[in-house]
Chains A and B, each alone.
Chain A
């Protein structure tokens, strides 16, 4: 179960999407999210879904791999769906005691569900096709104008890199500790809420200890290689926008225009 979480995980491949400049991908993802909120009808979602599908096909990330990342958020999805379907007021089409479903409710629930799914798939495409390192490089560069106002863009980017980098490590560590405690007779699967919460103590304590140990080791390794913050730091790979990045920008602009026009028209 722990292995199923793909959010924040990179899928190694050499597709045109993978090779795009991370800055372009970050901006495109942000625009995609904004577009999802501009859209106010199903045709608009159709366009967004088509664009996303095209990106997925070009990126060569298998659909099954992306879908696995959706599993953990199914609960939130159902929750918002249920909330919308029962809470929205309007023309009642079904009623049972205090529960009632309205036409508007269904529409908004379906609407929100599609929006959420597209939102999550869209943003996970960014992390699936961009190495954490280039992702944070991109963020750093995008935030660098703020350095003038003493904004620590490099430090924040570094913190994000490390956090992203440690998601899989900590998951693996959790898996290992859970197995070790299971071998000592721990039972995580039965009992009430309190019992289950208590059963997690033997996992959480070693996990915290491990997290601090890993953090300390990393800090030491960075110091040993003379790491210091952002100032005067040069980079091995200078980021330069290439033709394909400009083409992507152009396509993105067309896409945005289309969405805005579409939203105005209907």
Chain B
């Protein structure tokens, strides 16, 4: 499974006074098993891009190949695409609706037309995978859980569909530091266990730097740069020009005069010790 997007354009309300160009000639490729971070400030076109990847929005022009199928062609079954590409929206807890956690998580797999045993099995797995205790939460109403737990349940609802591509739009927005960490750890675990492609949109440069294999920067509907975290975060000036920042740890090391692009705590400690030795 891989994703190839070529010259993707999207215009909202075409021909209306409110017409707005949201994406301009976006092209990129994502290889199987990669974890890709997308960064860009509010209104840069990130969410629009994500919704194209599972066919919720139709491209004005350009092509999107997912596992070799061009989903922009007429006649392609969107239901098939959505089986392969799971999308977790911002604040996904607002989509919970069932009377119990287990039933809510089962909604997605149920729509795939699986057998009841298969559904139960997947629900069990998905709830465990997002770090909740299946026996404890399965019969509880999703509305009485804490904010972080609600979100975990909502993510489990998509994970249970076993998508080959899992897209998360700001999965940690509005969470406390602990829930924030839990959700990120869980995303990494799901990614490692299933070997899927994971696409993570975030405002937190630190999270992206730490987790992603590749980073995409989007500004004004255009792909500004795509590369490894080292490549992208070595371009501090460029990031600042599009309203973004470096991860705090990278910025800190830059200030100390360390030439390399440092992205995690351990490397930073090593470099700083070296600096003292000199």
**A interface residues, Cβ below 8 angstroms from B:** 3, 62, 64-65, 68, 176-177, 179-187, 201-202, 205-206, 209-210
Counting from the closest, the 8 A-B pairs by CB-CB distance are A185-B111, A205-B97, A184-B108, A183-B87, A180-B95, A180-B89, A202-B97, A206-B97
- Asked whether, in the complex, the Cβ of A185 is within 8 Å of the Cβ of B97, the reply is no
Q: Which of B13, B16, B143, B158 contacts A183 (CB 8 A)?
A: B158
Interface status of B83 (Cβ within 8 A of chain A): yes
Interface status of B56 (Cβ within 8 A of chain A): yes
**B interface residues, Cβ below 8 angstroms from A:** 13, 15-17, 51, 54, 56, 79, 82-83, 86-89, 92, 94-97, 107-108, 110-112, 143, 157-158, 161
Q: How far is the CB of B168 from chain A (nearest CB, A)?
A: 11
Give 12 A-B pairs besides A3-B13, A180-B95, A185-B83 with Cβ atoms closer than 8 angstroms: A62-B17, A180-B89, A182-B56, A182-B82, A183-B56, A184-B107, A184-B111, A184-B161, A185-B110, A206-B97, A209-B143, A210-B94
Chain A residue with Cβ nearest B87:
A183
- Asked whether, in the complex, the Cβ of A206 is within 8 Å of the Cβ of B82, the reply is no
How many contacts between A and B, using CB within 8 angstroms? 63
Contacts of A3 in B (CB 8 A): 13
Chain A residue with Cβ nearest B96:
A206
Q: How far is the CB of A204 from chain B (nearest CB, A)?
A: 8
A179 to B54, CA, bound (A): 11
Interface centre among A64, A65, A205, A210 (most CB of B within 10 A): A205
Q: How far is the CB of A95 from chain B (nearest CB, A)?
A: 44
A180 to B169, CA, bound (A): 11
Contact (A185, B112) CB under 8 Å given A64-B16, A180-B95, A206-B95:
yes
Chain B residue with Cβ nearest A186:
B111
Q: How far is the CB of B67 from chain A (nearest CB, A)?
A: 17
- Asked whether, in the complex, the Cβ of A184 is within 8 Å of the Cβ of B94, the reply is no
